[in-house]
């Protein structure tokens, strides 16, 4: 889903995407700007000689629509847009789509509003971007030289050795580390991650819509030449009023509309809205439990299906999860990362570590190569050895159960519910909880104390199994269920009655100097490190590779920081031998920033809170640029290089998004 965020210089901001109040309908000019090619031509020359080129500034247009329940509210939203998109203020436009997140500077040229129709008004915004390039949201940084304290000595009598460092958390950091420091303990504690949600008032999920249209005369999905789509089967209640709103497309005069279905998904009746948008109120038949309706492509992002009593006008859909249609995958702890912020090493556990809602969790120590397994998982996938039995039929759902001996599973006393489990596709029934008999759930019991047999009950909608009929034999019902289960396996995380050992490989994991960050992909890590006394360390990174992933060369900010006297600091491009050199002696605490961006080249000095322009620049200096790809740089100074720190900040530039 594409999202645009415009922010003006006063901080006023508006978001435009596929949701209220401002819907994104189209964009243009977001690609590369027009390229001007400069040429010369001699007498009698065929063609011309290209002498150079440059990009025009970009004109970027945003087309959208806003909807409201009243013209007054619509007018208020129009004023909001006019206030944010004021031509008097500069602004930035942020573009977000999947893994793309870029920003550009711009000025408002025009904003125009269309006529108001059915409490909907369109708008067009034209933005001029003098700098035609898109940039990353945050500057990249490359540290070339850094100092930490530097002095190492043997232990004299009476010297107190610093205590080992230790901490616990999802991400922890150790500082002031010295050569030879390593980890004495690195233990990961599991935390299973699962994102659950509650059903929104909006019942239509455009992501589940399929191409075609509903033939209201028989409830079948037929191919459409009008870019129509059909909702999935939407669970509803009998004899209840529902409404469709938000559509603007007028359907062709044809057998197109919505259809009602019974508890197993069989067609009951339909409603025709050919020649209309489909907006309106519809009463479900007394035997209807599902509905499907037709919506055009232009309305996919804005169409709403909900109870007639609902006051919701937001087309955003949130599913009930976990459920078979909207699983909530359970991810455990698997990776430990050791880094210094730039370099990193990843270590994996021998197996995935899980946790449960009550806090029971597995753990693993990477240093000793051993751990404790307190949880495990079972997967029901309809395989031949799973002896499921039919239990009973509800109106919408059917319940199956399986008697199974899971080795070492922690069970309550006989006939008590097993509450401490997690499931990826079904809600777990806990002791004392209430749920509808037509809900899709899972539950587990201890059926026999002596042999520790567990019974898992799974209740799912009959409509999930094609050709379902309550008149089928029990064996036929089980066969349909296991076929469905083979394509929709159900995973359950459970507690072990007796924890078992996890065996891996012991590892000697060193620390990064002078700082090490420790993190796990999920859960917590306990880390402890120690070492000899080392006071003083100099980073050896005199030469670094600065990678520019952008589409064109870009400028940068070079920051020289002095810890003591530094004479004539400079930065050298190792490949081209171009350099930028300051011809002055820096003193402790002084910071000089060299900016090399096109149209913004300057050198600024900050000392004791006073900012001044630097004029002491070597005449052969070049305002260095980062070429696309790899760039090797090295810092120098005529004297006092050990007192110099150097960092490079840059924003890669992209032709389009």
Which residues contact residue 107 at a Cβ distance below 8 angstroms, ignoring those fewer than 6 apart?
87, 90, 91, 127, 128, 129, 130
Which of 405, 402, 444, 403 is CA-nearest to residue 422? 444
Q: What is the dihedral of CA 156, 162, 163, 169, to 10 degrees?
A: -160
Structural tokens at position 487: 């394509």
Distance CA 465, CA 367 (A): 50
How far is residue 562 from each of residues 44, 366, 386, 580, measured CA to CA in Å?
Answer: 61, 41, 72, 17
CA-only gyration radius of the chain, Å: 33
Which of 315, 274, 311 is CA-nearest to residue 293? 274
pLDDT of the residue at 415: 62
- Stretch (H or E) spanning 293: strand 290-296
For the stretch 115-164, pLDDT in tens is 888 888 999 999 999 888 889 888 888 777 554 444 444 444 554 444 56
SS3 state of residue 486: helix
Distance CA 396, CA 309 (A): 24
pLDDT of the residue at 163: 55
CB 398 within 8 A of CB 430: no
Distance CA 206, CA 211 (A): 11
Distance CA 106, CA 101 (A): 16
Q: Which fold has domain 140-146+539-654?
A: Jelly Rolls (2.60.120)
Structural tokens at position 643: 């007192």
- Stretch (H or E) spanning 77: helix 71-84
Distance CA 529, CA 444 (A): 44
Distance CA 276, CA 258 (A): 12
pLDDT of the residue at 34: 84
380 alpha-carbon distance from chain centroid: 30
Largest CA distance in the chain: 104
Q: What are the boundaries of each domain within the chain?
A: 3-40+49-132, 140-146+539-654, 206-307, 378-494
CB 342 within 8 A of CB 513: no
How far is residue 253 from each of residues 211, 215, 230, 256, measured CA to CA in Å?
Answer: 18, 12, 17, 8
CB 229 within 8 A of CB 294: yes
Question: Could you please report the per-residue DSSP string of 306-328?
Answer: EETT-----------BSSSSS--
Phi and psi torsions of 245, nearest 5°: -145, 165
Cis peptide before 514 (omega within 30 of 0): yes
CB 371 within 8 A of CB 523: no
Segments in the chain below pLDDT 50: 147-156, 159-162, 451, 532-541
Which residues contact residue 449 at a Cβ distance below 8 angstroms, ignoring those fewer than 6 apart?
413, 414
SS3 state of residue 381: coil
Q: pTM of the prediction?
A: 0.54
Structural tokens at position 612: 């001044």
For the stretch 443-468, pLDDT in tens is 887 766 554 567 888 999 999 999 99
- Stretch (H or E) spanning 270: strand 267-272
Structural tokens at position 243: 């409404």
CATH class, domain 3-40+49-132, is mainly beta
Query: No. of H helices and E strands in the chain?
Result: 2, 51
- Check if 3-40+49-132 and 140-146+539-654 are the same fold: no
Q: What is the dihedral of CA 429, 433, 434, 436, to 10 degrees?
A: -10
């Amino acid at each position: 889903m594409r999202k645009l965020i415009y922010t003006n210089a006063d901080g006023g901001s508006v978001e435009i995407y596929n949701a209220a109040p401002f819907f994104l309908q189209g964009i243009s000019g977001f690609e590369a700007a027009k390229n001007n090619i400069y040429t010369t031509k001699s007498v009698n020359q065929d063609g011309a000689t290209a002498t150079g080129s440059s990009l025009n500034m970009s004109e970027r247009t945003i087309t959208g629509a806003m909807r409201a329940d009243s013209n007054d509210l619509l007018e208020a939203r129009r004023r909001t847009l006019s206030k944010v998109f004021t031509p008097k203020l500069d602004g930035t436009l942020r573009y977000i789509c999947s893994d793309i997140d870029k920003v550009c500077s711009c000025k408002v040229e025009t904003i125009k509003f269309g006529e108001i129709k059915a409490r909907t008004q369109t708008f067009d915004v034209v933005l001029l971007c003098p700098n035609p390039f898109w940039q990353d949201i945050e500057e990249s940084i490359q540290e070339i030289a850094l100092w930490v304290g530097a002095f190492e000595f043997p232990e004299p009598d009476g010297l107190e050795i610093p205590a080992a460092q230790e901490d616990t958390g999802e991400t922890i950091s150790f500082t002031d580390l010295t050569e030879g420091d390593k980890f004495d303990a690195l233990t990961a504690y599991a935390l299973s991650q699962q994102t659950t949600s509650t059903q929104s008032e909006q019942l239509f999920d455009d992501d589940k819509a399929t191409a075609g249209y509903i033939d209201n005369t028989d409830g079948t999905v037929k191919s459409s030449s009008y870019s129509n789509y059909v909702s999935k089967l939407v669970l509803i209640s009998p004899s209840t009023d529902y409404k469709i709103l938000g559509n603007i497309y007028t359907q062709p005069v044809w057998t197109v509309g919505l259809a009602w279905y019974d508890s197993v998904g069989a067609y009951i009746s339909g409603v025709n809205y050919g020649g209309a948008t489909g907006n309106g109120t519809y009463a479900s038949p007394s035997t209807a439990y599902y509905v499907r309706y037709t919506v055009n492509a232009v309305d996919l992002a804005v169409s709403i299906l909900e109870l007639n009593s609902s006051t919701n006008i937001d087309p955003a859909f949130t599913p009930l999860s976990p459920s078979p249609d909207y699983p909530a995958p359970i991810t455990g702890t698997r990776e430990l990362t050791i880094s210094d912020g730039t370099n990193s090493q990843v270590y994996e556990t021998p197996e995935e570590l899980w946790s449960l809602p009550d806090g029971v969790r597995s753990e693993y120590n990477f240093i000793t190569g051993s751990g404790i397994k307190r949880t495990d998982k079972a997967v029901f996938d309809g395989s031949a050895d799973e002896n499921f039995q039919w239990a009973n039929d509800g109106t919408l759902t059917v319940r199956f159960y399986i008697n199974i001996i899971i080795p070492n599973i922690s069970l309550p006393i006989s006939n008590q519910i097993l509450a401490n489990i997690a499931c990826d596709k079904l809600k777990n029934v806990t002791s004392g909880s209430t749920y509808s008999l037509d809900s899709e759930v899972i539950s587990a019991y201890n059926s026999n104390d002596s042999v520790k047999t567990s019974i898992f009950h799974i209740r799912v909608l009959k409509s999930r199994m094609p050709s379902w009929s309550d008149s089928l034999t029990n064996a036929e019902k089980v066969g349909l269920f296991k076929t469905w289960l083979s394509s929709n396996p159900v995973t359950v995380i459970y507690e072990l009655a007796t924890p078992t050992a996890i065996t891996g490989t012991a590892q000697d994991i060193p620390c990064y100097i002078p700082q090490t960050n420790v993190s796990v992909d999920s859960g917590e890590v306990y880390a402890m490190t120690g070492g000899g006394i080392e006071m003083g360390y100099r980073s050896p990174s005199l030469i670094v590779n600065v990678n520019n992933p952008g589409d064109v060369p870009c400028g940068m900010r070079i920051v020289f920081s002095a810890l003591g006297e530094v004479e004539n600091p400079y930065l050298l491009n190792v490949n081209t031998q171009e350099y930028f050199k300051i011809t002055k002696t820096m003193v402790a605490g002084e910071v000089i920033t060299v900016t090399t961006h096109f149209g913004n080249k300057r050198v600024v000095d900050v000392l004791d809170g006073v900012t001044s322009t630097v004029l002491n620049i070597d005449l052969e200096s070049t305002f260095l640029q980062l070429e696309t790809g790899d760039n090797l740089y090295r810092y120098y100074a005529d004297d006092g290089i050990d007192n110099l720190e150097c960092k490079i900040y840059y924003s890669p530039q992209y032709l389009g998004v």
